[in-house]
Amino acid sequence: MLPVIRLGSLVLPALLLALPACSRGDAPADPSPPPVVSSRPAPAPRPAGPAELALVAPLAPGSTLDGFAVRDIRAVQNGVLTLVCAKDRALVRLSVALVADDGPAPPAVAGKYAIFYSARGSDPADGERLAKALAAILEKHPDVPVPPGMTSFVPTPIPI
Numbers of helices and strands, H then E, in the chain:
3, 6
- Percent of the chain exceeding pLDDT 90 equals 59
Closest CA to 149 of 97, 73, 106, 95: 97
Backbone torsions φ then ψ of 18, nearest 5 degrees: -80, -20
C-alpha dist (Å) from residue 67 to 38, 79, 134: 38, 27, 12
Q: What is the mean pLDDT of residues 151-160?
A: 72
- Please tell me the predicted confidence (pLDDT) of residue 153: 82
Exposed, middle or buried, 32 (CB in 10 Å: 0-12/13-18/19+)? exposed
Closest CA to 68 of 47, 89, 48: 89
User: Three-class SS of residue 142?
Assistant: coil
CA 46 vs. chain centroid, Å, equals: 16
Rounded to an integer, what distance in angstroms lies between the CA atom of residue 59 and that of residue 42?
27
87, 123 contact by CB (below 8 A) = no
Q: What is the mean pLDDT of residues 110-130?
A: 94
pLDDT tens digits along 37-74: 556 776 778 889 999 999 999 999 999 999 999 999 99
Among the ranges given (23-37, 73-87, 89-103), the one the predictor scored with the smallest mean pLDDT = 23-37
* Mean pLDDT score of the chain: 82
